[in-house]
Amino acid sequence: MTPESIDEIMRRVHLLEIKARRLARETFGGEYQSSFKGSGLDFEDYREYQHGDETRFIDWNVTARKDHPYIRTFREERELSVILAVDVSGSSRYGSKQLSKRELAAELAAVIAFSANFNGDKTGLLLFANEPLLYLPPAKGSKHILRMIREILAADPEDPRTSIPAACHFLLHTVKRKALVFMISDFLAHDLHRPLGSVASKHDTIALRVVDPMEETLPQVGTVTLTDPETGQQTTVNTRNSNLRMGFRKLTRRHNEGITQLFHQHGIDHLKLRTNGDYLPHLHRLFKSRTHRRHH
């Protein structure tokens, strides 16, 4: 990378930090805390068994010493490990409006990481394209978060293709304890059913799907050459052809329905976020729905 490109990335990181800190503090602080909980129970103390207590918590050694049944009591483990699994494949660089998909992913990651940090939770990062590229284990602190944002923006994989199965395999074998996994990707990939299902069965998994509006509707701009950013394959199409545009919309709709069904099937909370839209209302709704489920 050139000194100029590094300076530009650091400028964007700084601007993102200011925005994400403010959103995390003013907008998502309380909502984050009520939406997510720790992954287990920490032993707290012993007390005498009372009618209605679960017998599986009886501690037989203490019971033998005291001549009365005693149970172990626990408190909810508050601290949570959050893993941001971010797709930095070739398609992430595409953006026809205000932001590229990569820039939107970095912004989402920053807001989530600062929200977790304000709540005392650790955040880790997995960058992936056709294979896992970088893993930063969960840690706390602003310095760690700023490094994560910088790595997302600066990533330049040699092989720009996407493999979500490879990322899922890495998460399953590297993150041992149950974590909260935010997978941020456009999910323009195949063979996702088993890998995503496996990750969702081990970790609390949320899919943040970043899309660009130009990927869903072909504009009428005459004959254009389209290039696949991951394979380099080029196709020349006449966008004035109404049958072509209708076929493209149908394909897009079918893909959207398929990926949504897959998320539902595996109990994965998910959002579809556009590069030209405001993601704040969508995140609010996600956090609120999770809070509602926790208390009902």
C-alpha angle 192/270/128, rounded to 5°?
50
DSSP secondary structure code for residue 216 in this structure: T
Rounded to the nearest angstrom, the gap between the alpha carbon of residue 81 and the centroid of all alpha carbons in its chain is: 13
Q: Which residues on neighbouring strands pair with residue 123, listed in sequence order?
A: 82, 139
Mind spelling out the 3-state secondary structure of 9-54? HHHHHHHHHHHHHHHHHHHHHHHHHHHCCCCCEEEEEEEECCCCCC
Which residue ranges make up each domain of the chain?
A: 3-36+80-294, 43-76
Which stretches in the chain have pLDDT values below 70? 1, 29, 37-44, 74-78, 295-296
pLDDT at res. 71 = 87
Provide the whole-model pTM.
0.83
pLDDT at res. 74 = 65
pLDDT at res. 134 = 98
CATH of 3-36+80-294 among 3.40.50.410, 3.40.50.300, 3.30.1300.10, 3.40.220.10? 3.40.50.410
pLDDT at res. 34 = 76
